[in-house]
Structure 1
Amino acid sequence: MHLRETLASPPGSAPMGTPAVVDPHTILASIPRWRDVLELTQKNAVYMAKFKVGYPRFFMHNSVRKLTDVCLEAVNGVDGELMTMVFPTPRILHECVSYLSQKGGIDNPQKVGDIRVVHFDITGPSKVSMSPPDSIHVVLFPPELEETAKAFWLNAGMGISSRHAEYLLRRLEEGDILMVVQRPSENRLNKYSGALSEKVVMRQRIAGLLNGGDGDQPASLLVEAPDIGKRPIQPEDVFLYPSGMSAIWHAHQLTRTLFPNLKCAAFGFLYVDSMNVYQNWGEGLINYFDDPDATLKELDQNPPKISALYTELPSNPLLKSPNLSKIRNLADQHGFLVVVDQTVGNFINVDVIKYVDIVCTSLSKMFSGSANVLGGSLAINPNSRHYDSMRAYLLSEFVDDFYHEDAIVMEYNSRDFAKRVRTANANTMEIATLLRSRSISYSNSSKSHAPNPRNLLAVKDVYFPRWVTRDEYEICRRPYPDSNNYGQLITITFVSTKASEAFYDALQCVKAPSIGTNFTLAVPYVVLAHYHERDVVAKHGLDEALVRLSVGIEEQDVVIEWVETALEAAEKTLEVADNQHRLAPLL
């Protein structure tokens, strides 16, 4: 299938820190070598200076940085020592201030009093200007609170987008004026008919997908016949957010409001930023990392009083699936909400809505596929016993802060979503099978031998939903003629860090920290996301040197060649070690 994105040639050759995709709003920076990843985790200043782009929650886009500097200069008279962050709506600004005051006050209580907010209007140079005002909302804080502010930006996922910042800068460059206002102006962020229609289309598309359709005809709801007495998802049950983490954050606020003063629970080892949200907002988190059978038994026999149970299907990166049917039964018995992030499984491959109250999805991944826009969705189950209270909360509290130009790009990118997913599914099945055939785990369980001289195998194990907690995945797997809809993510462990490094460095695909793109992506997930707690995550099955592979829609033969070349490089590290071992007695 033809890629619409422009990549380096070969894709993995883009220098470190440069755009992995040729697009001014790309969300991916290339990290082509293992040692680059290590330097990044150490925040080496020389290496960090090479990064020109990055994932927007981790790295401030150049346009956002410029707008921040403009705002800081405009208020520098307040206190020249203060730092700043820019947000698109007053609501997000006040959430940031609340977080800074609460979390920053723990280590720096004397600095909380220095937090300031400033509201700006960008308006025409005269009262008769035809351009209506746009608003910007700024928080100022002392340097001691910088890490806390970054944590809010990273985990809540509601920072101003690069397209929005670019538009506001353009207004200023064309002569409009930045004015401090005492009260925030009415938010015009999404009062654009074009954006509204695009969002309606996306909500229809997502509702149709959740009901079992393909989303190929956005104006219609391609609905499977629902179970007797069950209501299908309507577009009004789908809410759009500026990022997947924003959808997660808002789902968490919903559950906290409906069940106040209660802890929540996480089932399985979940994505690190999601865990941060559950831990840092609210009454705290109960972790059920391991032994799902024992966890289900404990939840049944000694259920804690919780607001919600959060899980993923499948999990990132070990691709383990929870038994949602049993979890649903427990939730009904004990009265908690079930919230599932099905980003890795995605709308085409899995059907989770029947078992959950809320389903969250990062639209930045395969729904978009092009790695040039962020977005997220939250859908509520109309058959949930909590539906009326969830919907009442959302109708009361929802603020549309998904910038209109981002929504337009997202809608365009997602038009061929189903076709791309099915192509990626087929490619991934072939790659997973190839990797497994060259693994120790498969060799030990099979009488066949891998096609490798002296049977030196560099791959220790391959994690893929077809072979990991398959029964649990099958509960939610959508019927599919080709029976290969196990997703596009594979996690690979190796016999040594040297083998992992050789495999990663030899791969010719894009190497960057994300998943679910139209093009194949790889990253050493634990080294990048959990470097400083490697020993801790190892206890939960996350091998320090694992490589996560997100397979794209390229020609299958091309991806196979990339992986075979990388496997050969990994296996050569074992040949060297084997030769040294053979020569040792002679030395």
Structure 2
Amino acid sequence: MGQHRFVDVALGASLPNLTQHAISVSLPTWRDTVGYEEAEKRVVDAMKNGYPRFFIHLSIRKLMEICEQKFGNKDESCMLFPCQQYADYCRSFMADQGQKQQFIGPFSTRLVRFAIAKDETLQNNNAKPHSSVDLYIVLFNADAFPLAKQFWQHTGMGVSSRLADHCLQLLSSDTPTSESPSSSSCSPRMPYKMSNRHYARSAQPINSSNGHRHGLDPVDQVDGERSVYLEERYGRNLPLTSAAAAKRALRRRIAGVLIKDDDATYRHAGDHDVEVGPSSRAVKELSEDDVFLFSTGMTAIWQAHRLARDIRPASKSVCFGFPYTDTLKILEKWGPGCHFLGHGLDSDIDHLEEILQVEPVLALFTEFPSNPLLRSADLPRLRALADRHGFLIVVDDSIGNFANVDVLPYADIVVSSLTKIFSGDANVMGGSLVLNPKGQHYAALKDRLGDTYEDIYFDEDAIYMERNSRDFIHRARVIDINTEAVCDFLHANSAPSGRSNAVIREVYYPKYTTTHHYQECRDSGGFGGLFSLTFTTQSVAQAFFDTLACHKGPSLGTNFTLACPYTILAHYTELDWAERWGVDRNLVRVSIGMEDKEVLLERLQSALAEAEKVV
């Protein structure tokens, strides 16, 4: 067992370690996760990173400070967006929710466009791409920051950490910048050191002359232009000038229209003259023009909900099954609200039929399978109801992923978090929205997207996503095989399998959970890389989790195994509510990676043995 010794990274460090734009953070023990939720000083002071929609990346925080100093009045904070459309959505949300939540007294927001450019860009119309950025700054009273943070978290529309780094690099060159506030002018503020305890440990003062970042760790320094050079020099990334081609390659890969997509041809996957054919997905008519890219998966979900509200009469949506937390928040906080059918079982479809007899429904949102209970809805039955009553079906296939399942025939819109297994490397965010060209609402949805869609997926993020996704199908197959082997072992040692004195109460995994519904949409792949476990007691769950030799932290779909006490992490302030919907407060969620299968089994056996000692 010693030959497979696992060495975890320190509490609060990035996962993957030494990665500037990592999307997870190390919370190695159960106690660390609880400490994170309770803002325990020991944990908060150690945090150098976090999941990007929950923890504002330090580069973004530094850029926010510069913007607050330059444009903010006293006691004002800000949020940063890559386009005016997203900034306007934020302002509307803050005005609406500020009133609904009775958060504070009357307040206003201001919008500033900050044009950041190098000297040569200001004087040369032929300057190369990426030499200028338009940044949109929403300023508001500091007391309203929690409202702005809600918008940031729910929608994923804020600037990416790579875009923030790019802005900081432009600002560090002592060049003039132009700014155009949307309301009254504001005087620059003197620089200050960050006081927010979430960031104080790693933050550095801002130089008042040029906003340059001082005292960065080596991992910060190597991630800039040198990192881009290394990625291009050794052939891993397309050059930044090929960002448009990278995005075309991504859309084609998602649509399944590339005739060849392998190591020998990836550099041409985005070319205008590359060979494409009918989609390999279940709807052959699907094309790259039906795929739309966004900065995060939650942005794709938010946009799907907005599209439904734009083309259909106002009415409540339906959230079918217990979803990832922000999906439900979007459906509750925008529009007329939603019906929450949180179990996601066939009996809930009976309930939905009763609702439809009384009132119309805007759209039904469901995950396939769901997170964290891995339940799959009866999509054919839901599709029949949608056709009869005219509502849209939006399916999030991030957990099943389109290497394993094809839900498009039953959906009007399929949304995916590309951040997960499609990327795998856990170093870039992304999302996609796919329209079903055979759906009855296709023409209206496509027309509306033609009017409103704005491609603001940052070029450098797209370059990394394209690189990471080239071997997506191969990685998915390896992870499927590993996960099935692990889950077969755990299921054989669980109470449902009849083992006496079993400490595992339930294994949630599509092979055992609503299997017939999953199989209806299963393509040529397996059952995915995610599963959840419940145990007889909290102490047993904690012993299993703390002993399990793998990385611990938020997110899933990583090339390395990643675990978390999911309910503690996602629903710590509403544990009783979660349990009412069947989500045990001590549930442990595990995303299996590409490690050697025998090593994974060995580590799971060790963790289970330690858990059994508690009993």
TM-score when normalising by structure 1: 0.88
The Cα RMSD (Å) is 2.1
Contact 2:344 / 2:377 at 8 angstroms: preserved in 1?
A: no
**Distance in structure 2 (CA, Å) of the matches to 1:510 and 1:11:** 9
Letter of the structure 2 residue corresponding to residue 474 of structure 1: Q
1:545 aligns with 2:541: no
* CA gap 1:352/1:110 in 2 versus in 1, 3 angstroms: closer
Of residues 278, 295, 304, the one that matches 2:348 is 295
Contact 2:375 / 2:514 at 8 angstroms: preserved in 1?
A: yes
Displacement of 1:45 in angstroms is 3.3
Of residues 284, 287, 296, the one that matches 2:337 is 284
Displacement of 1:536 in angstroms is 1.2
**Distance in structure 2 (CA, Å) of the matches to 1:378 and 1:41:** 32
Of residues 506, 511, 516, the one that matches 1:466 is 511
Displacement of 1:232 in angstroms is 1.7
> Superposed, which structure 2 residues align to 1:441-480 within 5 Å?
441-443=496-498, 449=499, 455-480=500-525
Displacement of 1:193 in angstroms is 4.9
* CA gap 1:118/1:373 in 2 versus in 1, 3 angstroms: same
3-state SS of paired residue (2:415):
strand
Of residues 10, 22, 33, the one that matches 1:15 is 10
Displacement of 1:34 in angstroms is 0.3
Letter of the structure 2 residue corresponding to residue 551 of structure 1: I
Contact 2:346 / 2:377 at 8 angstroms: preserved in 1?
A: no
**Distance in structure 1 (CA, Å) of the matches to 2:572 and 2:473:** 35
Of residues 20, 24, 28, the one that matches 1:28 is 24
Displacement of 1:279 in angstroms is 0.8
* CA gap 1:107/1:426 in 2 versus in 1, 3 angstroms: closer
* CA gap 1:60/1:220 in 2 versus in 1, 3 angstroms: farther
* CA gap 1:109/1:507 in 2 versus in 1, 3 angstroms: closer
* CA gap 1:499/1:221 in 2 versus in 1, 3 angstroms: farther
Letter of the structure 2 residue corresponding to residue 289 of structure 1: G
Once the two structures are superposed, residues 349-393 of structure 1 have per-residue CA deviations (whole angstroms, 9 ceiling, x without a partner) of 001001110000000000000110000000000000111100001
1:411 aligns with 2:452: no
Once the two structures are superposed, residues 484-540 of structure 1 have per-residue CA deviations (whole angstroms, 9 ceiling, x without a partner) of x00111100111101110111111111111110100010000011111211111111
> Superposed, which structure 2 residues align to 1:351-390 within 5 Å?
351-390=406-445
Displacement of 1:332 in angstroms is 0.4
Contact 1:490 / 1:550 at 8 angstroms: preserved in 2?
A: yes
Moved more, 431-440 or 414-423: 431-440
Residue 166 of structure 2 corresponds to 167
Of residues 391, 398, 401, the one that matches 1:346 is 401
Of residues 207, 226, 234, the one that matches 2:287 is 234
Contact 1:206 / 1:215 at 8 angstroms: preserved in 2?
A: no
> Superposed, which structure 2 residues align to 1:41-60 within 5 Å?
41-60=37-56
**Distance in structure 2 (CA, Å) of the matches to 1:11 and 1:225:** 39
1:245 aligns with 2:273: no
The runs of 5 or more residues in structure 2 that have no matched partner are 184-239
Displacement of 1:182 in angstroms is 4.6
1:91 aligns with 2:136: no
> Matched residue pairs, number?
539
**Distance in structure 2 (CA, Å) of the matches to 1:115 and 1:554:** 49
Contact 2:68 / 2:77 at 8 angstroms: preserved in 1?
A: yes
1:139 aligns with 2:187: no
**Distance in structure 1 (CA, Å) of the matches to 2:277 and 2:535:** 43
**Distance in structure 2 (CA, Å) of the matches to 1:10 and 1:272:** 35
Runs of 4+ that moved beyond 4 A: 9-12, 107-112, 129-132, 213-227
Letter of the structure 1 residue corresponding to residue 19 of structure 2: D
Contact 2:256 / 2:280 at 8 angstroms: preserved in 1?
A: no
* CA gap 1:215/1:366 in 2 versus in 1, 3 angstroms: farther
Moved more, 535-544 or 404-413: 535-544
Residue 108 of structure 2 corresponds to 114
Contact 2:556 / 2:562 at 8 angstroms: preserved in 1?
A: yes
3-state SS of paired residue (2:123):
coil
The percentage of aligned residue pairs carrying the same residue is 37
Displacement of 1:46 in angstroms is 3.6
> Superposed, which structure 2 residues align to 1:196-235 within 5 Å?
196-208=244-256, 216=262, 218=269, 219-221=274-276, 223=278, 231-235=284-288
The runs of 5 or more residues in structure 1 that have no matched partner are 1-8, 185-191, 444-448, 450-454, 575-587
Displacement of 1:178 in angstroms is 3.2
1:258 aligns with 2:299: no
Contact 1:11 / 1:20 at 8 angstroms: preserved in 2?
A: no
Once the two structures are superposed, residues 322-352 of structure 1 have per-residue CA deviations (whole angstroms, 9 ceiling, x without a partner) of 0000000000001100000000000110010
Contact 1:240 / 1:375 at 8 angstroms: preserved in 2?
A: yes
**Distance in structure 1 (CA, Å) of the matches to 2:344 and 2:477:** 32
> Superposed, which structure 2 residues align to 1:263-278 within 5 Å?
263-278=316-331
Residue 177 of structure 1 corresponds to 176
Residue 223 of structure 2 corresponds to none
**Distance in structure 2 (CA, Å) of the matches to 1:109 and 1:310:** 29
Displacement of 1:222 in angstroms is 6.1
Residue 483 of structure 2 corresponds to 428
Displacement of 1:60 in angstroms is 1.0
Residue 186 of structure 2 corresponds to none
Moved more, 429-438 or 43-52: 43-52
Residue 193 of structure 2 corresponds to none
Displacement of 1:547 in angstroms is 0.4
Moved more, 236-245 or 287-296: 287-296
* CA gap 1:492/1:84 in 2 versus in 1, 3 angstroms: same
3-state SS of paired residue (1:340):
strand
**Distance in structure 1 (CA, Å) of the matches to 2:281 and 2:334:** 36
Of residues 195, 212, 217, the one that matches 2:243 is 195
Residue 538 of structure 2 corresponds to 497
**Distance in structure 2 (CA, Å) of the matches to 1:53 and 1:63:** 10
**Distance in structure 2 (CA, Å) of the matches to 1:301 and 1:135:** 50
**Distance in structure 2 (CA, Å) of the matches to 1:268 and 1:168:** 40
* CA gap 1:148/1:215 in 2 versus in 1, 3 angstroms: farther
3-state SS of paired residue (2:326):
helix
* CA gap 1:108/1:144 in 2 versus in 1, 3 angstroms: farther
